[in-house]
């Protein structure tokens, strides 16, 4: 190891001097930069093996410092603080080496400064240059049919094909950006937070980086739904003391028994992440007070690899000696590790106070892998983590190498494999295969081999004949039935779940279309010879416009499949040569030619000004007379925090920032997002939904409707009540003026005797 204090001189710009008795701001900044650099070097001591390693880090730091010398972050601090922080995350949280530290320090230089990739290559070599290239965003013009952000996502994901360090450094970069998001404008906060939830947190999860994934999600929630975030934080803080007392009481008998059994162990309580609690409240309608797994007990044992599996089961036996387990909540990730290497034994047991408690049992090795995932990969070379992660990366590379769909489709397809839970199925010979939950027999066929998938006719699941669309369950044994006459069909894309299957089907369909297009070209040329006509490249634009096809191959394909007939071709040349083919186009659109997707007009044409009678919504910075529609997916009303999305055919649609679709829209179509906010308006009614739950008491419906109609004078559009075993759930659609009007109504309803909860229906 080499200590930072050496004879080498660190070059820092602005070497100006000042009187000793005065504080020079530039000197103070320089001291702070040096302080952070020394902190980085201390963190790097574990990976610095030679003097050359240390010189590479110093060289990268000085280049980044010089390149970013005049740049400041939104917080006002020197920009160099950011690459130093990213490099520290790579070291402390991801266990990466010297090359990754160098790349982290330089990751923004090509994108934000005058330094080129060639400069990086000349100074640091090809390996560093390629990683920096992967970290550099795509620049340039993208029209409204494309998504620059999706293209950047695709570029990042494609680096999995050669160097996973690009992904890891990018995750470190995103984590630091999330930690410092307070200083950004509100619309920028929403965009970055939604991107993080959409891709980066799922990617961290898939690589087993649970600690990073959890922090990203919690920070994103802070900006996407700040009210709920603060509410959950407050409730967790309020219940912390009671929770800690409960945990201490719960673990006492377990600690005593494990000590008697001779285990070396650690027991700690783990509170459920803010985002996980939020999802339970939002998606399952469970109030905070009723979430039984708000915390879990984690038992970590010191055990050698040969005995850790049996030792974990011995610990399980000790736990269940005191507490009754819930049979359907046993999760054995030790016998069947997740594909990202996660290993742990989970059980849920009943405490003496009548509360369910999740207990996680794992070895020290398993715990480190569970927390740091891929980052712990090389520390345990002989463990199953290597096999599992390498196997997943092999699948990913196969998908990425053949992916040819649009950037948005590509990212959406890949994301399925990131966020979906896993199932385990067996081949007829007992070989275990991991698939995403919801996979079908056809997905399994493509998992075995692309040829088997292409010719899959059906399957036998546990000895029973099923169709290729049959959804598999964990533990199924699957045998694929094939036929040489079978071939991929367009409707297969409707039910396959995995990106591998979807890409293989698309490739096969594309190849079939290419072959038919070749045949169609021969037919077209033969027809022209028969008519005594000739074809030239100058005819291509006219053909595309006349037949409404995006390219000449689509034209040939439609000729081969008889969508475009000989009479259509004759009519084209007749109309074209007579000069009236443009007028024929309007009639042609109503005929049976398959219409391709219309071109997207520019945003300036999509957004048309109109004289709205209500001056209620400001779109952009100060424009109030733009036409808009309220999105039906989230039904925003005045008072909700909203944004505008420019659609292709329906102008501007207004969504709530907490809309279920906000995540996807802000991530893939950020260039079509525009600011929007409510202003004061006249009393105009907006539709909103309310869900009421309570005890099925005589007169309860009458008491509720009396408050709605008589006390608050709220008009109801519809009302529906269902009862079951003494409880009721009612749904009302009402007309309110704004969120305050709605909240007043909900607060009144909460005070009705017999009502348990009142929530807004999203």
Q: Which residues are catalytic?
A: 111-112
Name which of 393, 292, 314, 413 is nearest 361 in CA terms. 314
Residue 349, SS3?
A: strand
- Structure token digits, residue 669: 């179509």
User: Would you say how long the chain is, in residues?
Assistant: 762
Q: Are 549 and 596 in contact (CB under 8 A)?
A: yes
Angle between helices 51-67 and 117-124 (to 10 degrees): 160
Give the neighbor-by-neighbor strand order of the sheet with 617-619: 617-619, 673-678, 642-646, 652-656, 628-630
Separation CA 482–CA 717 (nearest Å): 54
- Structure token digits, residue 167: 């992904």
Q: Is 558 exposed, middle or buried (0-12, 13-18, 19+ CB in 10 A)?
A: buried
Q: What is the DSSP string of 212-271?
A: HHHHHHHHHHHHHSHHHHHHHHHHHHHTHHHHHHHHHHHHHHHHHHHHHTT--EEEEEEE
Separation CA 344–CA 208 (nearest Å): 13
For residue 63, count other CB atoms closer than 10 A to its CB. Answer: 20
Name which of 749, 706, 707 is nearest 728 in CA terms. 749
Q: What is the DSSP string of 645-703?
A: EE-SSS-EEEEETT-TTHHHHHHH-GGGEEEEEE-------EEEEEEEEEE--TTHHHH
Separation CA 587–CA 80 (nearest Å): 62
- Does an H or E element contain 58, and which? helix 51-67
- Structure token digits, residue 464: 């029973």
Spatial neighbors of 289 by CB under 8 A, at least 6 apart, are: none
Q: What is the 3-state secondary structure (H, E, C) of 459-472?
A: EEECCEEECCCCEC
User: 356-363 and 422-426 as β-strands: parallel, antiparallel, unpaired?
Assistant: unpaired
Percent of the chain that is helix, strand, coil (3-state, to 5): 50, 15, 35
Residue 741, SS3?
A: helix
Buried b (16+ CB within 10 A) or exposed e, 91-124: bebbbbbbbbbbbbbbbbbbeebebeeebbbebb
Name which of 674, 652, 664, 645 is nearest 149 in CA terms. 664
Residue 713, SS3?
A: coil
Separation CA 86–CA 88 (nearest Å): 5
Q: What is the DSSP string of 568-597?
A: HHHHHHHHHHHT-HHHHHHHHTTSSSPPPP
**DSSP letter, residue 393:** H
Q: Are 254 and 322 in contact (CB under 8 A)?
A: yes
Q: Is 491 exposed, middle or buried (0-12, 13-18, 19+ CB in 10 A)?
A: exposed
């Amino acid at each position: 190891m080499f200590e930072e204090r050496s004879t080498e001189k660190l070059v820092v710009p602005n070497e100006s001097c000042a009187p000793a008795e005065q504080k020079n701001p530039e000197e103070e900044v320089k001291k702070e930069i040096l302080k952070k650099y020394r902190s980085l070097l201390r963190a790097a001591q574990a990976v610095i093996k030679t003097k050359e390693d240390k010189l590479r880090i110093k060289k990268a730091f000085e280049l980044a410092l010089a390149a970013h010398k005049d740049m400041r972050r939104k917080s006002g601090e020197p920009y160099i603080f950011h690459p130093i922080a990213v490099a520290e995350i790579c070291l402390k949280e991801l266990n990466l080496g010297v090359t990754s530290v160098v790349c982290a320090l330089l990751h923004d230089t090509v994108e934000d400064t005058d330094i080129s990739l060639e400069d990086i290559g000349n100074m640091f070599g090809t390996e560093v240059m390629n990683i920096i290239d992967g970290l550099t965003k795509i620049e340039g013009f993208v029209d409204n049919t494309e998504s620059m952000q999706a293209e950047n996502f695709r570029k990042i994901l494609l680096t999995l094909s050669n160097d996973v360090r690009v992904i890891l450094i990018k995750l470190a970069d995103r984590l630091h950006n999330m930690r410092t998001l307070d200083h950004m404008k509100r619309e920028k906060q929403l965009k970055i937070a939604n991107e993080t939830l959409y891709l980066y947190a799922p990617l961290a999860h898939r690589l087993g980086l649970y600690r990073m994934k959890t922090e990203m999600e919690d920070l994103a929630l802070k900006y996407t739904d700040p009210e709920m975030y603060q509410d959950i934080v407050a409730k967790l803080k309020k219940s912390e003391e009671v929770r800690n007392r409960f945990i201490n009481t719960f673990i006492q008998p377990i600690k005593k028994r494990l000590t008697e059994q001779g285990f070396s162990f650690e027991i700690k309580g783990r509170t459920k992440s803010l985002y996980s609690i939020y999802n339970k409240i939002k998606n399952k309608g469970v109030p905070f007070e009723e979430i039984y797994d708000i915390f879990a007990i984690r038992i970590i044992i010191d055990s050698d690899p040969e005995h850790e599996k049996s030792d974990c089961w011995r610990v399980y036996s000790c736990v269940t000696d005191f507490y009754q387990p819930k049979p359907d909540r046993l999760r054995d990730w030790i016998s069947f590790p997740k594909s990202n290497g996660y290993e742990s034994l989970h059980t849920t047991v009943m405490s003496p106070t009548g509360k369910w408690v999740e207990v996680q049992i794992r070895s020290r090795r398993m715990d480190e892998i569970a927390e740091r995932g891929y980052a712990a990969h090389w520390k345990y070379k002989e463990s199953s983590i290597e096999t599992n992660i390498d196997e997943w990366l092999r699948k990913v590379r196969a998908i990425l190498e053949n992916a040819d769909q649009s950037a948005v489709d590509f990212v959406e397809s890949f994301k399925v494999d990131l966020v979906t839970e896993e199932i385990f199925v067996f081949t007829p010979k007992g070989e275990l295969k991991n698939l995403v939950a919801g996979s079908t027999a056809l997905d399994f066929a493509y998992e075995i081999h692309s040829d088997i998938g292409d010719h899959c006719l059906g399957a036998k699941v546990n000895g029973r004949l099923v169709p290729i669309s049959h959804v598999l369950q964990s533990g199924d044994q699957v045998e694929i039935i094939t036929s040489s006459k079978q071939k991929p069909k367009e409707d297969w894309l409707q039910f396959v779940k995995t990106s591998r299957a979807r890409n293989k089907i698309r490739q096969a369909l594309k190849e079939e279309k290419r072959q038919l297009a070749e045949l169609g070209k021969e037919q077209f040329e033969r027809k022209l010879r028969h008519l005594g006509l000739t074809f030239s490249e100058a005819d291509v634009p006219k053909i595309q416009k006349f037949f409404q096809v995006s390219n000449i191959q689509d034209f040939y394909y439609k000729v081969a499949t008889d969508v475009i007939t000989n009479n259509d071709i004759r009519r084209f040349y007749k109309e074209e040569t007579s000069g009236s083919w443009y007028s024929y186009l309007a009639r042609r659109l109503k005929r049976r030619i398959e219409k391709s997707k219309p071109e997207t007009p520019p945003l300036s044409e999509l957004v048309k000004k109109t004289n709205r009678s209500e001056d209620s919504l400001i779109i952009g910075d100060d424009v109030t007379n733009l036409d808009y529609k309220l999105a039906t997916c989230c039904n925003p009303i005045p008072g909700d925090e909203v944004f505008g999305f420019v659609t292709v055919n329906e102008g501007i649609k207004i969504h709530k920032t907490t809309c279920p679709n906000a995540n996807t829209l802000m991530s893939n179509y950020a260039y079509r997002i525009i600011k929007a906010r409510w202003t004061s308006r006249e009393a105009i009614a907006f539709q909103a939904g309310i869900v009421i739950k309570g005890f099925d008491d005589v007169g309860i419906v009458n008491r509720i409707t009396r408050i709605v109609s008589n006390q608050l004078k709220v008009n109801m559009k519809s009302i529906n009540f269902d009862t079951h075993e003494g409880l009721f759930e009612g749904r009302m659609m009402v007309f309110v003026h704004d969120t305050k009007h709605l909240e007043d109504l909900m607060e009144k309803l909460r005070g009705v005797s017999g009502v348990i909860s009142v929530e807004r229906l999203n």
